[in-house]
Chains A and B, each alone.
Chain A
Amino acid sequence: MKRTLKYLLLHGVINDETHGKLDSYIEGKPLSIFWHIRILLYLGVTLIATALGILIYENIDTIGHLSIVVLIGLTCIACFVYSFKKAPDISADKSEPANPWFDYIVLFGTLLFLTFEGYLQFQYSIFGERYGMATFLPAMVLFGIAYRFDHLGVLSLAITLFCSWLGISLTPKSLFTENDFSTTNLVITGMLLCVILIGAGYYSVKEKFKAHFHFTYYNFGMHLGAVAILAAGFNFSFGWIWMLLISPLILFAYWYSQTYKSFYFLLFGFGYTYIAISYIVVEVFIGIDSDYIFSAYLLMTYFIATAIYAIKFLRSAHKKMNEDAGV
């Protein structure tokens, strides 16, 4: 930064006085530890919730067991009493937390609620054999918490829980590793959830009801839909027909990237398209020639040509986005 100020001074863009002012501003600018504190709060809440989760089961046959359960229940209630007391009024817009603790007290209460509910089902089978209920109801409660206290983290947990109710694992890692999209049912469920999530995001923006939640919905929706469709394309016969189903999703990703100037969506949309098209091309090329030598040449030519085009496309899209944003 100091080099830039010196450059501006040397080129007569700023005078000595402005240079001095800017220089002392940068020199005296306080160091922000905002994210450090948030990480500490997040880790603290996570460790305590995990510890209580272990404690409750480790001591299941001991005298202290009931007191741990009561402690979790009471702490959970205390968290939500505090949250309701301190929460800003219900609003359709984004509301600012009352204090830096607020978000983490809500998160802590939510985690304790999940532990408590899980324990009640495990020990007393409060939902009986209706395991779906044991997932669906907490998901709905979590959506309520997320909307009432304007909490993106709890919203993500609620969406994940809701999807797991329908049999799909949706954490960023498990989406790719734990789902077995080899059954039509699960693929269709995945696609349906994709539509629901994107629809929820669209509704949030259109109705201006917690519009800032839209990224979370869209993000989960896009990845889930794309992974389900691509997996169907790889696993089922007539894979290319499944691959074609990705086109509306790609159009959506492109629309989002242009509307919100999001290169993240453009990159993933482009990546998923590239995988889908390449899969079809590979299938076609492999079928051309029985000893695969000619196919190999064709494929390599295809990858070189398309990757060059992809680079050009991404660069020009980035340039255009910057120009539109006035950067």
Chain B
Amino acid sequence: MLGYDKIRQANYFHKIHLNELKNEGLVSNEEHSVIEKNMGPAYNTTNIFVNIGLFILTYVIVSSALGFLGLLLSDVISEQNGWVFSLIVAVGLLFFLQKVIIDDRKNFRSGIDDALLYGGIGFLCLAFFILFETVFFNDPLKSCLFFIPLLGLPAKIYQDRLLYGLTLFSIYSVFFLLFHKLGGVFLLLIPFGLMLLSFIFYRFSTTKASKVEFEADQECWEVIQWISIIVFYLSGNIFVVTELSTELGLVDAFPKAIKLFFYGFTIVIPLLYIFHGLKNKKLIFLNLGLALIAVGVFSIKYYHNLMSLELALLLGGIALLAVAYSAMRYFKNGKWNITTEPDNNLTDGLNLESIVIDQTLSKVGDIDTKFKGEGGKFGGGGASGAY
């Protein structure tokens, strides 16, 4: 059977949730041990640092092994048969992934399986690219059509979030290129078409995410949700629309009313996302809404320099503090079932925050570089020896 063992996979998620229940004090240590003992086989859980380490090391092994093979077969491999070599490597990597890493070594989201999967798919794409370079890959539309099954099939089999996302991008690209090819009024319909498509994808992925049997599938559909929410916004963002129209030779093609609609869309949609996220406790909308507000402000500022940079920063800063203050006051008593209290361990977050502060704010007070050009700056100027 291709893909992961569904029982082990389900138990993998049960283990994670059991730990969460234990950390919240809803399951005692004793209960936790008993449940885990009786749970049956499960894939091992890891953490992000292990995953990153194993991912990089797997690539070191794969690259070295391929380098070794390449050296051995350097006389045999040529431009004409390069696709055979790529195909053999792809099949070899995917076979090794399935047979050894998943079936025998029981890896799931360990970093090793991800690295091998992406390596295998990469070589598969390369093989097809070399083989069909003149047939398919000289036409972007055909290329994207080709990528949909090439990425979508392994995405489904291995329940991989990145491949799900890439497949969705391929579908978006097909739609975009098709409208581009049709030309005329279809070019003007691209933003609205993408919005409609995103809405459909969002509704579809939401339904799928709530109905699928396995959590790994649910997470994949959640990626589709994320992307469709972002693309929906970007389709009507004034910066994206204007720049894309210019690229497509449609300068000032949209009537003023439509342009005004895009301006409104750029600012209103992130606010609606935030409202929807708070009201319905949907973190995805809240997070994206906050990030997209910044995108919206930059988009409008790009075309309308209403004020100087420093004044914009000052007013923006005051507005952010005002919003934070109002939110703290409004949600103080648990309105809308929202709390301003932390819901997890603070230490890691605070350590990370201190690193971010150091990275972003250590140049405040940096005067000499800008005004004297002598390289004596706080946080690095001294390193040049100019201080």
User: Cα distance A155–B362 when bound, in Å?
Assistant: 11
Instruction: List residues 207-229 of chain A with CB under 8 A from any CB of chain B.
Output: 212, 215-216, 219
B364 touches A304 (CB 8 A): no
Q: Knowing A32-B339, A131-B376, A169-B383 touch, does A3 contact B215 (C-beta < 8 A)? A: yes
User: Cα distance A304–B283 when bound, in Å?
Assistant: 43
A32 touches B343 (CB 8 A): yes
A40 touches B364 (CB 8 A): no
User: Nearest chain B CB to A292's CB is how many angstroms away?
Assistant: 11
Per-residue 0/1 for A173-193: is the Cβ within 8 Å of any B Cβ (1 yes, 0 no)?
Answer: 110001110000010000000
Residues in A whose Cβ lies below 8 Å from that of B371: 57, 122
B314 touches A297 (CB 8 A): no
Q: Knowing A30-B339, A34-B340, A46-B317 touch, does A178 contact B387 (C-beta < 8 A)? A: no
User: Nearest chain B CB to A11's CB is how many angstroms away?
Assistant: 7
Instruction: List residues 151-172 of chain A with CB under 8 A from any CB of chain B.
Output: 152-157, 159-161, 164-172
Quick check: is B323 within 8 A (CB to CB) of the other chain?
Answer: yes
Name the one of A166, A169, A301 contacting B68, with C-beta atoms under 8 angstroms: A301
Name the one of B60, B318, B359, B381 contacting A44, with C-beta atoms under 8 angstroms: B318
Task: Choose, from A80-88, A197-205, A236-244, A307-315, the stretch at the interface.
Answer: A307-315
Chain B residue nearest in CB terms to A151: B354
Chain B residue nearest in CB terms to A266: B49
Per-residue 0/1 for B34-53: is the Cβ within 8 Å of any A Cβ (1 yes, 0 no)?
Answer: 11001000001011011011
Residues in B whose Cβ lies below 8 Å from that of A36: 286-287, 290, 327
Name the one of B21, B342, B362, B367 contacting A122, with C-beta atoms under 8 angstroms: B367
Quick check: is B65 within 8 A (CB to CB) of the other chain?
Answer: yes
Name the one of B46, B61, B327 contacting A33, with C-beta atoms under 8 angstroms: B327
Instruction: List residues 1-54 of chain B with CB under 8 A from any CB of chain A.
Output: 10, 13-14, 17-21, 26, 29, 31, 34-35, 38, 44, 46-47, 49-50, 52-54
Chain B residue nearest in CB terms to A54: B310
Residues in B whose Cβ lies below 8 Å from that of A35: 342, 349
Name the one of B29, B54, B110, B320 contacting A47, with C-beta atoms under 8 angstroms: B320
Q: Knowing A40-B327, A135-B378, A263-B49 touch, does A58 contact B310 (C-beta < 8 A)? A: yes
Query: What band does the interface of chain B fall in when counting residues whose beta carbon is under 8 Å from A?
Result: 35 or more
Q: Knowing A167-B387, A174-B379 touch, does A33 contact B47 (C-beta < 8 A)? A: no
User: Cα distance A157–B58 when bound, in Å?
Assistant: 37
User: Cα distance A122–B373 when bound, in Å?
Assistant: 12
B327 touches A1 (CB 8 A): no
Quick check: is A293 within 8 A (CB to CB) of the other chain?
Answer: yes
Quick check: is A319 within 8 A (CB to CB) of the other chain?
Answer: yes
Chain B residue nearest in CB terms to A121: B367
A264 touches B324 (CB 8 A): no
Quick check: is B75 within 8 A (CB to CB) of the other chain?
Answer: no
Quick check: is A196 within 8 A (CB to CB) of the other chain?
Answer: no
Instruction: List residues 46-96 of chain A with CB under 8 A from any CB of chain B.
Output: 46-55, 57-58
Name the one of A33, A155, A159, A219 contacting B340, with C-beta atoms under 8 angstroms: A33
Name the one of B20, B320, B372 contacting A40, with C-beta atoms under 8 angstroms: B320
Name the one of A47, A154, A178, A326 contacting B313, with C-beta atoms under 8 angstroms: A47
Task: Choose, from B167-175, B194-202, B245-253, B330-338, the stretch at the interface.
Answer: B330-338
Name the one of A1, A153, A179 contacting B357, with C-beta atoms under 8 angstroms: A153
B367 touches A169 (CB 8 A): no
A216 touches B351 (CB 8 A): yes
User: Cα distance A40–B44 when bound, in Å?
Assistant: 37
Quick check: is B385 within 8 A (CB to CB) of the other chain?
Answer: yes
Q: Knowing A1-B17, A318-B47 touch, does A168 contact B361 (C-beta < 8 A)? A: no
A30 touches B310 (CB 8 A): no
Quick check: is B156 within 8 A (CB to CB) of the other chain?
Answer: no
Q: Knowing A41-B324, A47-B313, A171-B362 touch, does A30 contact B338 (C-beta < 8 A)? A: yes
Query: What band does the interface of chain A fall in when counting residues whose beta carbon is under 8 Å from B?
Result: 35 or more
A157 touches B362 (CB 8 A): yes
Q: Knowing A22-B21, A308-B61 touch, does A156 contact B14 (C-beta < 8 A)? A: no
Name the one of B38, B46, B65, B382 contacting A11, with C-beta atoms under 8 angstroms: B38
Name, among A25, A31, A153, A157, the residue most crowded by chain B CB atoms within 10 Å (CB to CB). Answer: A31
User: Cα distance A7–B321 when bound, in Å?
Assistant: 45
A34 touches B364 (CB 8 A): no
Residues in B whose Cβ lies below 8 Å from that of A33: 278, 286, 327, 331, 338-340
A118 touches B366 (CB 8 A): yes
B324 touches A40 (CB 8 A): yes
Quick check: is B360 within 8 A (CB to CB) of the other chain?
Answer: yes
Quick check: is A8 within 8 A (CB to CB) of the other chain?
Answer: yes
User: Nearest chain B CB to A5's CB is how many angstroms away?
Assistant: 8
Quick check: is A102 within 8 A (CB to CB) of the other chain?
Answer: no
User: Cα distance A257–B141 when bound, in Å?
Assistant: 51
Residues in B whose Cβ lies below 8 Å from that of A195: none
User: Cα distance A57–B372 when bound, in Å?
Assistant: 12
B341 touches A132 (CB 8 A): no
A-B contacts besides A1-B21, A160-B362, A301-B64, 10 pairs, CB < 8 Å: A13-B34, A30-B337, A33-B327, A33-B331, A53-B364, A111-B364, A114-B364, A303-B63, A307-B64, A326-B29
Using a CB–CB cutoff of 8 Å, the interface residues on chain A facing chain B are 1, 3-4, 7-8, 11, 13, 22, 25, 28, 30-55, 57-58, 100-101, 107, 111, 114-115, 117-119, 121-122, 131-132, 135, 138, 152-157, 159-161, 164-174, 178-180, 186, 212, 215-216, 219, 263-264, 266-267, 270-271, 293, 296-297, 299-301, 303-304, 307-308, 310-311, 314-315, 318-319, 326-327
Using a CB–CB cutoff of 8 Å, the interface residues on chain B facing chain A are 10, 13-14, 17-21, 26, 29, 31, 34-35, 38, 44, 46-47, 49-50, 52-54, 57-58, 60-61, 63-65, 67-68, 71, 110, 112, 215, 278, 281, 283, 286-287, 290, 308-314, 316-321, 323-325, 327-328, 331, 334, 337-343, 347, 349-351, 353-362, 364-368, 370-372, 376-385, 387
